[in-house]
Amino acid sequence: MTAIGLAAVLAFAARAGEVPGAAMAATPVSPAATVTSTSQSAPPSPGTQASKPAAQSPGTVRLPKGGTAELVHSGIDSHGALEVPNGVGKAALWGAGLDAASGATLLAGHINWDGVTGPFAELWGAEKGQLVSVVDAAGQTHRYLVSEVLTLDKNTLPGRAADLFGQTGPHRLVLVTCGGQWVGGSLGYDQNRVVVAVPTA
């Protein structure tokens, strides 16, 4: 399947569960304000440790702010559309292998479903330099740093498909979700958020 054909699906045609919500503002979500405290907190008691993030399960992606989704190898349907799993707990996985030397590995997930905001909504607050990790089915962790963050009108995405989703060029992880304004019909939302990340040690 060509990258151009794949772009047709990344328009994320509106589906029954995808509905507008507060997290889908037309402008990207701004990072949370930094809060400073003048009070000192006591050091942890001996024998206690600061909480660590839960171990990441095989076959999952962890987004920059900690949201996770199960990855489902997905194909292209008869209309040239990527089959994105229903709901927000799973994301489509397509393209180059995680250990490939070249080509894009595409992860695509819904921003929301049946009124529930999903982990891929985090892409609207993503910034360059943030970490994304993917644990493959064998339990090997692949780490990526965000290198590019794009907000694209769904009508312009096909023109960028070859460079974003193509299977040539340096290996990269490309994460995609919807957002912007809810316009309904076959489009659903009018924009796509695209986050490109490059391998890191």
> Tens of pLDDT along 16-30?
566 554 344 333 333
Q: Is residue 37 part of a domain?
A: no
Task: Write the DSSP assignment of 73-132 as a string of letters.
Answer: E--B-TTS-B-PPSSSSEEEEEES-TT-SBSEEEEE--SEETTEEPGGGGGGG--TT-EE
Q: Is residue 110 part of a domain?
A: yes
Q: Is residue 41 part of a domain?
A: no
**Closest by alpha carbon to 132, among 81, 200, 59, 79?**
200
Give the contacts of 103 (CB within 8 A, at least 6 positions apart): 95, 96, 166, 167, 168, 169, 171
Q: Is residue 162 part of a domain?
A: yes
Range of the domain at 72: 3-24+55-200
β partners of residue 150: 194
Q: What's the total number of domains in the chain? A: 1
pLDDT digits (tens, 9 = 90+) for 2-11: 343 454 445 4
Task: Write the DSSP assignment of 176-187 as a string of letters.
Answer: EEEEEEEEETTT
Q: Is residue 133 part of a domain?
A: yes
Q: Is residue 186 part of a domain?
A: yes
Q: Is residue 47 part of a domain?
A: no
CATH of the domain at 171: 2.40.260.10
Instruction: Indicate the length of the chain as a whole number.
Output: 201
pTM (2 d.p.): 0.78
pLDDT digits (tens, 9 = 90+) for 76-131: 888 777 899 999 999 999 999 999 999 999 999 999 999 999 999 999 999 999 99
Q: Is residue 45 part of a domain?
A: no
pLDDT digits (tens, 9 = 90+) for 33-59: 222 223 333 334 444 444 556 789 999
Q: Over 90: is that where the pLDDT of 157 sits?
A: no
Q: What span, in angstroms and rounded, lies between the C-alpha atoms of 188 and 201?
A: 38
